[in-house]
Amino acid sequence: MKTLRIASLVICGMVSASFAQDVHSIAEREVMRRQQGIGHGEATLIQAKAAMDVKDYVRAHDAYRAACSFLPDGTASNNGHTEALRGFCESGVKLAETRIAEGRYGEAEQVVAEILTYQYDPNCREAREIYNHLHEPGYYNKTMGPKFIAKVQDVRALPHASMVDIEARNDPLGQHAQPHPGAPPARPGPAWTSRPCG
């Protein structure tokens, strides 16, 4: 019985020693993982800034989102997390404005709603304004969707072609108009004479 008790104490001692080693190794792995995350987050932050410089707001917004997840909120990342949050808000506002200009109001609302979550920045003033304007009746003309805007652009291209036809029709002497190769010859117009008035 005494040997059983000693054996169980030895086993408990070994288990607690191995558990302590496991906790220590887990802590070391976590520290290494976080350090790698900070390095990756800082690299992603540089990519996000480069995307903002070339006005690629979609890529910048995604990169800032990734940087926010990699960089911890604290002194270990040298305020990289705060910079990533600021950039996430700025790029999201620019992206939402672009989507509104394209008539894609639902996507603009999703972008600003994500910014305003507690995970990111619920106090981002510009995102809050856009979100409120999207929900304000009549602030944006939401009947102008992407299809409508494409039709407007098509119509804007038409007057240039139509003006050439109109000018050709308004040229009574045919001085500026080029005849169509298959068209019948033009009839002579009235003789214009210059007479003094009066």
- Residue 40 burial by Cβ neighbours in a 10 Å radius (0-12, 13-18, 19+): middle
CATH number at residue 44: 1.25.40
pLDDT the model gives residue 77: 47
Domain membership of residue 6 (yes or no) is: no
3-state secondary structure of 25: helix
The answer to whether residue 176 scores a pLDDT higher than 80 is no
Residues 110 and 133 reside in one and the same domain: yes
Residues 163 and 65 reside in one and the same domain: no
Q: How far apart are CA 170 and CA 175, in angstroms?
A: 10
Residues 165 and 134 reside in one and the same domain: no
Residues 78 and 166 reside in one and the same domain: no
pLDDT tens digits, 36-86: 557 777 888 888 888 888 989 999 999 888 888 888 776 554 577 888 889
More confident residue, 141 or 170: 141
